């Protein structure tokens, strides 16, 4: 069994008379990836802050394992646009974290390269797009190479190419043993990460699924069939934005008269349709497609 980093035992969190989390028992081990799914206000962000040690449980225990303790990086759901450059911000955060200057500057350059930002850019962060701010948010969480990386809605505001690049970066850090916890609304593509999913609902955790990477985990034998669905719908701009936020890996291709087409894997179809209808979209057609997959 892989090395245990952090555990929560019978944790409750209350604010005043409101219970946010109830009877949470959770263990995080080296190299694992955990997706926390759930709607707004269900307790995902509070759970991340508990794991990070930013807030204390009302009752129960948060246990850190190891000496020295694991390095924990935390990226909140949004980063304010500050009157400083990304490099200046990271230098400031690095000094707060006690990182020596001779180590900090090369790390800042490395992170800018990893997230495809120019370290020499003199533009203040207050003028950054939401996607650029999300990248800087991830960079500050990674200033010290983390053993555990906690990310609150990291795909919000990113375009499809940026989502795929971020997933590729997360895959690389998972492969060197970093544990990752990601709070999301929808799903992420299975080919990038080996993960398990917990549904956070009314402050309680439910095991939803364990997702295996496609390569190297299938039983040998006959080819696997990948089932997906072609979904055609009528959406306005607000509905498109909501679906893209909840399902960042899904590409909604515009057609005529406000119609959109996309392809959804069978495992995520029910959640996608539910979100589409809840947003007020109109489902026009649903067609099953089955393709030969890799052996």
Distance CA 285, CA 139 (A): 41
The pLDDT of residue 189 is: 57
- Only one residue has tokens 């190299």, namely 31
Model pLDDT, residue 248: 65
Average pLDDT over residues 162-183: 83
What's the predicted TM-score (pTM) here?
Answer: 0.69
Q: Is the pLDDT assigned to residue 213 strictly greater than 50?
A: no
* pLDDT, mean of residues 189-195: 62
pLDDT at site 216: 35
Q: What is the largest CA-CA distance in the chain?
A: 61
pLDDT at 192 over 70: no
Q: Which residue has the higher pLDDT, 242 or 4?
A: 4
In a 3-state reduction of DSSP, which class is residue 8? strand
Rounded distance between C-alpha atoms, residue 208 and residue 184, angstroms:
13
Q: What is the DSSP string of 235-289?
A: --HHHHHHHHHH-TT---EE-STTEEEEEEEHHHHHHHHHHHHHTT-EEEEEEEE
Q: Round the average pLDDT of the chain to a whole number and report it.
A: 82
Two tokens, residue 101: 């200057």
Residue 13 sits at φ, ψ, to 5 deg, of -135, 125
pLDDT, position 188: 62
Residues 6+ apart with CB under 8 A from 175: 31
pLDDT value at 208 more than 90:
no
pLDDT at residue 103 in the model: 93
Read off the pLDDT of each residue in 192-200 and give the average, rounded to a whole number: 76
Q: What pLDDT band is residue 293 in, cutting at 50, 70 and 90?
A: very low
Report yes or no: 38 and 202 within 8 Å, Cβ to Cβ.
no
Q: Give me the helices (H) in 127-218, please.
A: 130-141, 160-175
- CA–CA separation, 134 and 202 (whole Å): 27
Residues in Cβ contact with 18 at an 8 Å cutoff, skipping those fewer than 6 apart:
none
Task: Kindly state the percentage of the chain with pLDDT values over 90.
Answer: 35
Cα–chain center distance at 61: 25
269, 181 in Cβ contact below 8 A?
no
* Buried-exposed string 139-151: b where 16+ CB fall within 10 A, e elsewhere: bbbbbbebbbbbb
Q: Which domains does the chain have, with CATH numbers?
A: 4-211 (3.40.50.300), 225-292 (3.30.70.1150)
The pLDDT of residue 105 is above 50: yes
pLDDT of res. 122: 92
pLDDT surpasses 60 at 209: no
Per-residue pLDDT, averaged over 179-203, amounts to 76
Encode 215-254: b = buried (16+ Cβ within 10 Å), e = exposed.
Answer: eeeeeeeeeeeeebbebbbebeeebbebbbbbbbbbebee
Between CA 150 and CA 75 the distance in angstroms is 6
Give the model's pLDDT for residue 89: 94
CA distance linking residue 269 with residue 252, whole number of Å:
14
pLDDT digits (tens, 9 = 90+) for 117-161: 899 999 999 998 888 888 899 899 999 989 999 999 888 767 777
Q: pLDDT digit string (tens) for 2-60? A: 688 999 999 999 988 889 999 999 999 888 888 888 877 888 999 999 999 999 999 99
Whose CA is closest to 114, among 126, 102, 106, 125? 106
CB 84 within 8 A of CB 124: yes
């Amino acid at each position: 069994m892989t090395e245990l980093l952090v555990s929560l035992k019978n944790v409750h969190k209350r604010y005043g008379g409101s219970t946010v989390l109830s009877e949470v028992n959770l263990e995080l081990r080296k190299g694992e990836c955990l997706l926390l799914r759930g709607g707004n206000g269900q307790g995902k962000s509070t759970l991340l802050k508990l794991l990070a040690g930013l807030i204390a449980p009302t009752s129960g225990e948060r246990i850190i394992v190891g000496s020295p303790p694991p390095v924990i990086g935390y990226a909140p759901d949004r980063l304010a646009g500050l009157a400083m450059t990304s490099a200046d911000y990271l230098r400031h955060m690095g000094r707060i974290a006690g990182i020596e200057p001779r180590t900090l500057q090369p790390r800042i350059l490395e992170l800018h390269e990893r997230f495809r930002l120019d370290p020499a850019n003199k533009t203040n962060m207050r003028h950054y797009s939401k996607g650029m701010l999300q990248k800087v948010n991830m960079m500050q969480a990674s200033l010290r190479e983390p053993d555990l990386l906690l990310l609150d809605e990291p795909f919000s505001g990113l375009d499809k190419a940026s989502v795929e690049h971020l997933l590729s970066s997360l895959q690389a850090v998972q492969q060197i043993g970093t544990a990752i916890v990601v709070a999301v609304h929808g799903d992420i593509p299975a080919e990038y990460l080996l993960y398990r999913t917990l549904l956070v609902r009314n402050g309680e955790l439910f095991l939803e699924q364990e997702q295996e990477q496609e390569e190297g985990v299938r039983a040998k034998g006959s080819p696997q069939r990948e089932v997906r669905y072609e979904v055609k719908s009528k959406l306005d701009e607000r509905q498109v934005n909501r679906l893209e936020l909840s399902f960042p890996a899904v590409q909604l291709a515009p057609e005529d008269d406000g119609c959109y087409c996309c392809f959804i894997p069978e495992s995520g179809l029910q959640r996608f349709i539910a979100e589409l209808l809840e947003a007020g979209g109109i489902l026009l057609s649903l067609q099953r497609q089955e393709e030969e997959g890799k052996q």
